[in-house]
Amino acid sequence: MLNIVKAQLLESGGLDESKLENALSHCLSKGGDFADLYFQSSRSESWMLEDKKVKSGSHSIDAGVGVRVNNGEKTGFAYSDAMTNDGMMGAVKTASSIAHTNKEVAPIKIQAVETPAIYTGTDVLTGVTNNEIIALLNQMDATARKADARISKVICSVSTSQEYILVAASDGTLAADIRPLCKLSIQVIASDGKGRMEIGFSGGGGRMTLDELFKQGVDETFINQAVKSALINLEAVAAPAGDMPVVLGAGWPGVLLHEAIGHGLEGDFNRKGTSAFSGKVGQRVASDVCTIIDSGILPNRRGSLSIDDEGTPAQENILIENGILKGYMQDKLNARLMGVNPTGNGRRESFGHLPIPRMTNTYMLPGKYAHEEIIASVKKGIYAENFRGGQVDITNGKFVFSASDAFMIENGKITKPVKGVTLIGDGPTVLTKVSMVGNNLEFDQGMGVCGKDGQSLPVGIGQPTLKVDSLTVGGTEF
């Protein structure tokens, strides 16, 4: 893999390993603790079909090199879209200005490390033509409309990206990755003919070729899910409000776990003492049925990485084990300042961004209860099967999340669908109120996008069905 990436990113600009080593030495010639070079080439393509017509199509290519120098807690950073020696050295000069003490630097030597492949290195668009993409989108549109006469509008889309990255660092790192990513999605609008309309949405993908995604036949699954969601919400009644038990469904509802808890376990927030989990390693922060993992090495998952964007091999990290906080997700900078090891969570959106601690695939391990047992344990409450999204305050873990598909639980049975369900609480408290965890761990289908510090990245999310004994539900019925 490394030779393929070097040919893609370095050779056309006349760069080689000796020039990278020279650049890193110059990065630290005025002082500093650490420096790295991040080369990236990315190609993105998307198609959107709205009501049987191609609404949009896009194709873009971006490439460049980012240069970073760390000096204590300070960081110098610059980038160039010219992957040549002159472009790289211009960025080196700017980034190295963070330090001001001239010193003799020992020659820096980088050494390649190959990491196991957890997804294909084949180009994401191999085996699929534009005509085949448009034909599939047309077929999805027709199938959705045929499913129910109340479907009045259909939007289908495909998006793909192919990235080549190479990282060289003053700690000797030389690592590369080839990252395909694709996604297929559908949105439908259902109308009851009386002025009420509801939206249903579904989709997924991962680190695979588009041909592999198409051959899985997931388009029919996505269609059925979107249509079902829209039709259910067309019949939904106003949700109740108040404190009550809430059962979170398996899979995508793990977005609440991701936002309300996962971000609070990222190293930068905890080094600065701004997270609700700061200074609590070794302490109980959740009920003993909760074990939370972040893993970048799940095959083909959307958030998976062979290496992170600092060249650290991705790994599985236990964040909370049986309710005890075990550690945080770390990049190299925060790990060095906190005196711990990096965990393979240093990620960046592109060569024009700094790496920061970010989640990969974050999920809760399964427990011992069947889904039906958990539902049966609730006399009156809410079953939240799917979410639109929400907001969270990292400093205290307080969150507000909106459910897209939700139902009443009455006398141990799921009954009528409800709309307007908002879940309000804080991550640390919710973790202590998890009393039952299902044996049905599921991951999201491959749609997750996480935002932090203005950077958006693909992530994975997962959880089994779980019961929170008491959670504030904001509804419209009192």
What are 442-459's pLDDT values in tens digits?
A: 999 999 999 999 999 999
- Evaluate whether 353 touches 328 at the Cβ level (below 8 Å): no
Q: 198: exposed, middle or buried (C-beta count within 10 Å: 0-12, 13-18, 19+)? A: buried
pLDDT of residue 475: 67
**286 and 392 together in one domain:** yes
Mean pLDDT over 380-390 rounds to 90
Residue type present at position 278 = S
Domain boundary among 190, 208, 234: 234
Domain boundary among 219, 234, 249: 234
265: DSSP letter: G
**218 and 230 together in one domain:** yes
**150 and 270 together in one domain:** no
> What is the helix (H) or strand (E) element at residue 398, kind and residue range?
strand 398-410
Whole-angstrom Cα distance, residue 125 to residue 358? 27
Task: Return the sign of the alpha-carbon dihedral for residues 119, 123, 126, 130.
Answer: positive
List, for residues 246-296, the tens digit of each pLDDT value.
999 999 999 888 988 999 999 999 999 999 999 999 999 999 999 999 999
pLDDT of residue 193: 86
In which residue are the tokens 């510090």 written?
453
Q: Is the pLDDT of residue 478 over 50?
A: no
**204 and 246 together in one domain:** no
**194 and 243 together in one domain:** no
List, for residues 27-59, the tens digit of each pLDDT value.
999 889 999 999 999 999 999 999 889 999 999
**223 and 328 together in one domain:** no
Percent of the chain at pLDDT above 90? 87
Identify any residues that bridge with 47 across adjacent strands, giving them in sequence order. 57, 158
Whole-angstrom Cα distance, residue 99 to residue 353? 20
**331 and 344 together in one domain:** yes
**225 and 259 together in one domain:** no
Task: Give the residue numbers spanning the domain of 180.
Answer: 2-234
- Evaluate whether 285 touches 297 at the Cβ level (below 8 Å): no
Percent of the chain at pLDDT above 70? 99
pLDDT of residue 200: 95
Whole-angstrom Cα distance, residue 461 to residue 361? 6
Confidence of residue 389 (pLDDT cuts 50, 70, 90): confident
pLDDT of residue 100: 80
**353 and 326 together in one domain:** yes
Question: Dmax over Cα atoms in the chain, in whole Å?
Answer: 78
- Evaluate whether 65 touches 39 at the Cβ level (below 8 Å): yes
**213 and 264 together in one domain:** no
pLDDT of residue 113: 83
Instruction: State the number of CA atoms in the 13 A half-sphere of 257 facing the CB.
Output: 37
Q: Look at residues 120, 93, 427, 414 and name the one whose alpha carbon lies nearest to residue 256.
A: 427
CATH number of the domain residue 21 falls in: 3.30.2290.10
**404 and 430 together in one domain:** yes
**230 and 242 together in one domain:** no
Beta strands at 34-50 and 151-169: parallel, antiparallel or unpaired:
antiparallel
pLDDT of residue 477: 57
- Evaluate whether 410 touches 381 at the Cβ level (below 8 Å): no
pLDDT of residue 345: 98
Domain boundary among 167, 202, 234: 234
Into how many domains does the chain fold? 2
- Evaluate whether 342 touches 328 at the Cβ level (below 8 Å): no
